[in-house]
Chain A
Amino acid sequence: MISGAEIVIRCLQEEKVDYVFGYPGGSVLHIYDALFKQEEVKHILVRHEQAAVHAADAYSRSSQKVGVALVTSGPGVTNTVTGIATAYMDSIPMVVLCGQVPTAYIGQDAFQECDTVGITRPCVKHNFLVKDVKDLAATIKKAFHIASTGRPGPVVVDIPKDITAQVCDFDYPKSVQMRSYNPVVKGHLGQIKKAVQMLQEAKRPIIYTGGGVILSDAAERLTQLARKLNFPVTNTLMGLGGYPATDKQFVGMLGMHGTFEANNAMHYADVILAIGARFDDRVIGNPEHFGEEKRRVIHIDIDPSSISKRVKVDVPIVGNVNDVLDEILKLIDGGFTADPEVADWWKQIDEWRGRNSLAYRQSEHIMPQYVVEKLYEVTGGDAFVTSDVGQHQMFAAQYYKFDKPRRWINSGGLGTMGVGLPYGMGVLLANPGSQVACVTGEGSIQMCIQELSTCKQYELPIKIINLNNGMLGMVRQWQEMFYSKRYSQSYVTSLPDFVKLAESYGHVGMRIEKPEDVEPALRKAFTEYKDRLVFMDFIIDPGANVFPMVAAGKGLTEMILAEDI
């Protein structure tokens, strides 16, 4: 017989969890005591619970394993909500263990009590309140199972303090049987055959892929398929790295800040092969405008509710992306003959490419795009790049050419500012020794800046690329373009001296103000200061904007290009 607290830790050991990100408090003291008595599961003490969940999230994004966070009841839980919602929107497998007040106190407005199951319900894949210590191990097993299968997502397990003190036998279930939860894996063969037929008939095809390719580890299969078909490929923000960005078939990211060629190819395609993507508002722009072109859509997704949600689909295929792509590859193994008109389509795409829509104006100041280009060069295109939310995020997505999956770590769905630094922590712990750059801005970085302290404690040598324009850049860009330059609350005055700030936490700080200093600073950070966290404060051109841009409510082809301004 062991205590509930020990059961929690044993479960984590059984799940081969090597890191738990968390913050102790009253309701989880028994669990922290059990954690203290063993060495297999290591704990990373963050400075704010939000960061624990973000770090666990990035640990998962960069490794395919389930991320785990551990927090106390009440404020511990409410602080995690942003992190949980972030993971939920991007379908990231994660288990969040929360302390709760003792069972007898629930509903009495006890100290540090909150309705965890109620508060987190709309932003989790599922959640549990454990009411009997005998159910504890089976519940945690279910949590890991639900989080990591089907369309992945975060699962919360709420554990009252008395449950962690009670004792019972430990028996970790080997497998999970649930009559209410049996996600489909294999795609329907008849539908897959229909899809192949449609691909053969396509004259203006496009392969449009999203985060589902990354989540199901299907990048290799996707590349094989795309090469065989010789069709153009575009990735969503979440799908970057799912197909090599340096490949000639890649037409760039699509959507609100997608390339001219990607958006046009998507809009004018006669057959769209959508894979693990969901046609969201940032991707297709105005749905009525998008619907004006006649086209046929094949959609592969593990979640049936993503299919025909925003765009009517002709051939739905519900299944794990990797398995379905495997089936398609088998079917066309004997050879695939594309319609001869596809050659003309490529000519059209090359013409669109000729617009060079990612060209940007030169300036005496540092241009943010230039910093990302240099970062790409200095890191050999092989770094993990985490990002926050805003202009810097789009610059990183547009100019860092991701050739591998799980290298681009950002909050695509929820758009959470502040994730970049804790994401860097999670990535480094999952991939020790790798190059990790956090491309951020002076607005976003301050939302979780306290984690500089965690990075010092665990010696996490993240390279922070702070694209500092002294403004909330994306807000300013919209105000400039759509609100007659009324810059309401988008100036950030009273910024700290980031160099001194970094130094006060024991890190290296640099301030870079001239374009010619960009590359040497980056080189220094990644070589001389390889093992240190370096905070690089790049003072950039305050007028730099993100182009191309599809304004809200506009159609995908109604892009504003840099040259139009």
Chain B
Amino acid sequence: MRHIISILIENEAGALSRVAGLFSARGYNIESLTVAPTEDPSLSRMTILTWGSDEVLEQITKQLNKLVDVVKVVDLSEAAHVERELMLIKVRATGKDREEMKRMADIFRGRIIDVTESTYVIELTGASSKLDSFIAALDAGLILETVRTGVCGIGRGDRILKV
């Protein structure tokens, strides 16, 4: 099962390596990991996309809670939530492909944020599956470079992760 774990962690040097080290030492998967300070600069929020059975997920949350710097852990995917990922993708945009690329970006509600004579950089936000679909919809030969942020997510409505 795919899970999105959200962590509030003290914004201390080495906090990221404690979490990353825990995952590698115990053989848990990390599909993606994002981290940045919150509105309270002493706290960072980390979002980890992982895969595992219910038993493994139970261990992951328990082990994360055991880290002294970790303040709170929640499995976002346990209940209603929204998730987003940002991708920047650089494509070849010459000849007839130039118009086609613009059209594809429009269809997926992407924005072209950098233009040269031969390339576009398209910004696309959405669920990871939408970004996957966009990549699949393009001619692979025209993709020059992609960069994705990894998933971040937040609970819906009253589900709030805060100290």
- A residues whose Cβ falls under 8 Å from a Cβ of B: 117-118, 121-122, 125-126, 129, 146, 178-181, 303-305, 308-309
Contacts and interface: CB of A to CB of B under 8 A. Distances in A.
**4 closest cross-chain pairs (CB), A and B:** A305-B62, A126-B68, A180-B71, A304-B62
20 contacts: A118-B14, A118-B17, A121-B14, A121-B18, A122-B21, A125-B68, A126-B69, A129-B14, A146-B68, A178-B68, A180-B9, A180-B68, A180-B69, A303-B66, A304-B62, A304-B66, A305-B62, A305-B65, A308-B58, A309-B59
Nearest to A178: B68
Contact of A305 (B10, B66, B69): B66
Contacts of A121: 14, 17-18, 21
B25 interface: yes
A303 B10 CA distance: 21
Interface of B: 9-10, 13-14, 17-18, 21, 25, 55, 58-59, 62-63, 65-66, 68-71, 163
A122 B62 CA distance: 16
Contacts of B69: 126, 180
Contacts of A146: 68
Contacts of A126: 68-69
A316 B63 CA distance: 16
B66 A122 contact: no
B38 to A, nearest CB: 13
A334 B63 CA distance: 39
Given A146-B68, A179-B163, A303-B66, A308 B21 contact: no
A551 B18 CA distance: 36
A97 to B, nearest CB: 18
A305 B59 contact: yes
Nearest to A183: B66
B70 A180 contact: yes
Contacts of B163: 179
A122 B13 CA distance: 16
A43 to B, nearest CB: 28
Contacts of B62: 304-305
Nearest to A121: B21
Contacts of B18: 121
A178 B67 CA distance: 13
Contacts of A305: 59, 62-63, 65-66
Contacts of A309: 59
Contacts of B59: 305, 309
A305 B70 CA distance: 15
B55 A117 contact: no
A180 B14 contact: no
Contacts of A178: 68
B62 to A, nearest CB: 4
A381 B28 CA distance: 46
Nearest to A306: B62
Most buried by B among A117, A129, A181: A181
Nearest to B68: A126
A122 B26 CA distance: 10
A122 B71 CA distance: 19
A178 B9 CA distance: 12
Most buried by A among B18, B66, B70: B66
Contact of B14 (A117, A125, A308): A117
A304 B65 contact: yes
